[in-house]
A and B are shown apart, each in its own frame.
Chain A
Amino acid sequence: MHVSMSVNGREVSGDVEPRTLLVHYLRENLGLTGTHVGCDTGYCGACTVHVDGISTKSCTMLAVQAEGAEITTIEGLASNGELHPVQEGFWERHGLQCGFCTPGMIMQSAYLLAEDNNPDEDTIRHGLDGNLCRCTGYHNIVKAVQYAGARMRSEEPDAPDWEEEGT
């Protein structure tokens, strides 16, 4: 079946098997391998992308269902060579260890901060409860999102907690 959509601002189209999952279309047809496949069953959140601005697990959607949609993947988050505040936050606050969950974590964090750029810790943890980190690095992920929120509010982020501990 023919499918066309906008991915990270670029119009793309091609023929796919109707059974092709959106995540496989992104990775294999478009070469956008930043979106990871973790569980294939909607559980782990590694494949989270934005479909028309709404965060979605791209393993629970067929590529042909995205016809005409605007898709944003991790590759489309930075603009003009500048990291998105969430990417910067994950860098600055060590929000990753092995990195497998990171693209999904960042996409979901960007979605939740777009709705509310000043979430409390509870809201962040609930907002990310569909994304699993097998390194269990949740502590720093929450700190990374708080850092990004502060940046988006044009405020100075809190000092990293490893500096607090050193005093």
Chain B
Amino acid sequence: MDCEHPHHLDAALAALGDDPAATVLAGGTDVMVDLSFGQPHPVHVIALRRVVESAEWQEGRIGAGVTYRRLERGPPGALAQASRTVGSPQIRNTGTIGGNVATASPAGDTLPVIAACDAAIEVASRDGGVRVVSWADFFTGVKQTSLRPGELVTAIVFPDPMPAHHEFAKIGVRNAMVISMVSACVTRSEDGTTRVALGSVAPTPLRATAAEEMISAETNPGESALTEFSRLVSAAVRPITDHRGTESYRRHASGVLARRLLERCLRREPR
């Protein structure tokens, strides 16, 4: 195994351009675990920890190397909430949003926030330059993305301004060091436009569009509207049964979680 530590993005892209099959190492919270679990050692690792450009964060453009630690202390809202639920303090000190996106686990905690906010993924390569890909086109399956050979995730681009309200929550067996069973993000604008995205209930982050349309038309949702919203969210998800939870529990919890987050959006002052 051989390991490179580029200090700048162009050097990282050059290294990956020379060897598109190289293993890209960001915070190490996924790659290093696989390695220690006995996966074959990669031949060539490109470690991004020192790439200075990737730690840049300007307004809605968050560099891929920004850690959960910085995000949880950033502007209050769904992204900070999601980041605070990741792993443990040590994991948040090293794990990055770019790593979360590039790994594309169905349970990636920032993914529902990215999907609900309609954020985009900025990617770059030595030969192909920079592309900005919508989240919906980026995530293609379980740990599958539309990244092309030689491409790196360079930033996540959130809309500016963000919706007036955005809330995130997840369910797992404990509050720390847990892979979520269901995660959700709800956003609501002043005009009532509502978005709801869920994680861990489909191969990729999923938007419950029928629920969104129904509740966006309600200026002041009452009990029956909230119940219907919850029902439509539960109907939209496509969970599986695995060692973390059953299909029926995840379906039920999706609706409960989404409704709870919507109620927080309706109750709280705009962000």
Which A residues fall within an 8 A CB radius of B? 1, 17-19, 21, 40-43, 45, 48, 54-57, 59-62, 64-65, 67, 108, 111-112, 126-127, 129-131
Contact = CB atoms under 8 A, between A and B. Distances in A.
A7 B115 CA distance: 42
Contacts of B28: 60-62, 65
B33 A130 contact: no
A64 B93 contact: no
B90 interface: yes
B265 to A, nearest CB: 25
A130 B88 contact: yes
B36 A21 contact: yes
Contacts of A41: 33, 36-37
Contacts of A131: 88
Contact of B90 (A17, A65, A108): A108
Nearest to A66: B49
Top 8 nearest A-B pairs (CB, nearest first) are A130-B88, A129-B176, A18-B3, A60-B32, A40-B36, A60-B28, A19-B1, A41-B33
B128 interface: no
A62 B33 contact: no
Contact of B91 (A64, A65, A130): A130
A19 B41 CA distance: 8
Interface in B12-57: 25, 27-29, 32-33, 35-37, 41, 45, 47, 49
B94 interface: yes
Contacts of A126: 175-176
A60 B33 CA distance: 7
Interface hub of B32, B35, B36, B87 (most chain A Cβ within 10 A): B32
Interface of B: 1-3, 5, 25, 27-29, 32-33, 35-37, 41, 45, 47, 49, 69, 87-91, 93-94, 175-177
Contact of A18 (B1, B36, B175, B176): B1
A65 B27 CA distance: 11
B175 A60 contact: no
A112 B89 contact: yes
B6 to A, nearest CB: 12
Contacts of B47: 62, 64-65
A17 B2 CA distance: 9
A111 B89 contact: yes
B90 A64 contact: no
Nearest to B2: A18
B109 to A, nearest CB: 15
Given A54-B94, A60-B91, A129-B175, 14 more contacts: A1-B3, A43-B177, A55-B93, A57-B94, A62-B28, A62-B47, A65-B47, A65-B49, A111-B89, A127-B89, A129-B88, A130-B88, A130-B89, A130-B177
A48 B176 CA distance: 16
A60 B29 contact: yes
Contacts of A43: 177
B89 A42 contact: no
Nearest to B69: A54
Nearest to A127: B89
A126 B3 CA distance: 34
Nearest to A17: B1
Contact of A56 (B36, B37, B41, B94): B94
B5 A48 contact: no
Nearest to B84: A126
Nearest to A40: B36
